[in-house]
Structure 1
Amino acid sequence: MQTQPDAVSEKEFRVKSTTPPPELGSAIAHAIKADYQVVLKAVGAGAINQAVKSIPIAQSFVSSFGTNLTEEITFFRSKSPEGELLGIAIRVMGS
């Protein structure tokens, strides 16, 4: 008999170019500590920059608990009134 893997809970954060990396890093760390996977979604260079900067900040928060972060980066498409947008999705997982 096969068992189904447990469903993984995830939190999604939509990152803007004005998102403060320390605040986002703290939110990522809190979610990881609560056993969530985090997905950061960003469209545009400024937003991607803020998302990437937040990850080492989150790592500094969770390292005191013996947790290491791993990331998986993919593309996503989204529709907007201006048309279709292509963005970056960064999945952050604790291990």
Structure 2
Amino acid sequence: METLKVSSKSVTNSVAGAIAGVIRDEGQVEIQAVGAGATNQAVKSIAVARSYLNEECDIVCVPSFTNVEINGEERTAMSFLVEKATK
């Protein structure tokens, strides 16, 4: 599964386009964000991606915590599993 990493400086529409593209190709994607600003951008991007995919499918998002290594330090990140919704 592809993982997209979002920062507080990520452009919402660009991340949303990437999410929508991976959903179209693979059906699911993991989004990772460290910190409040990055988490905010990730959630907004997921909402925009949902509107991009509106006529094709709906998506669901399952948030969780994960550990990531940044510059040799272990940090806690938000992880969002986004996938096509089943009917």
- Fold shared by both chains (TM-score > 0.5): yes
Instruction: Report the equivalent of 2:84.
Output: 94
Of 28, 32, 38, the residue aligned with 1:37 is 28
Give the Cα–Cα distance (whole angstroms) in 2 for the partners of residues 28 and 64 of structure 1: 15
Which aligned runs of 4 or more in structure 1 are off by greater than 6 angstroms? none
TM-score, length basis structure 2: 0.89
Q: Which amino acid aligns with 1:54?
A: S
Instruction: Report the equivalent of 2:6.
Output: 15
Determine if contact 1:11/1:36 at 8 Å carries over to the other structure: no
* TM-superposed deviation, 1:79: 2.7
Alignment of 1:44-59 (within 5 A): 44-59=35-50
Percent of aligned pairs sharing the same letter: 31
Structure 2 unaligned segments of length 5 or more: list them. none
Equivalent residue pairs, number: 85
TM-score, length basis structure 1: 0.82
Structure 1 residues 35 and 78: CA distance shift in structure 2, 3 A: closer
Q: Which protein is bigger by CA-based radius of gyration?
A: 1
Give the Cα–Cα distance (whole angstroms) in 2 for the partners of residues 35 and 82 of structure 1: 31
Give the Cα–Cα distance (whole angstroms) in 1 for the partners of residues 12 and 47 of structure 2: 10
Structure 1 unaligned segments of length 5 or more: list them. 1-9
Give the Cα–Cα distance (whole angstroms) in 2 for the partners of residues 82 and 94 of structure 1: 34
Aligned CA RMSD, in angstroms, stands at 1.3
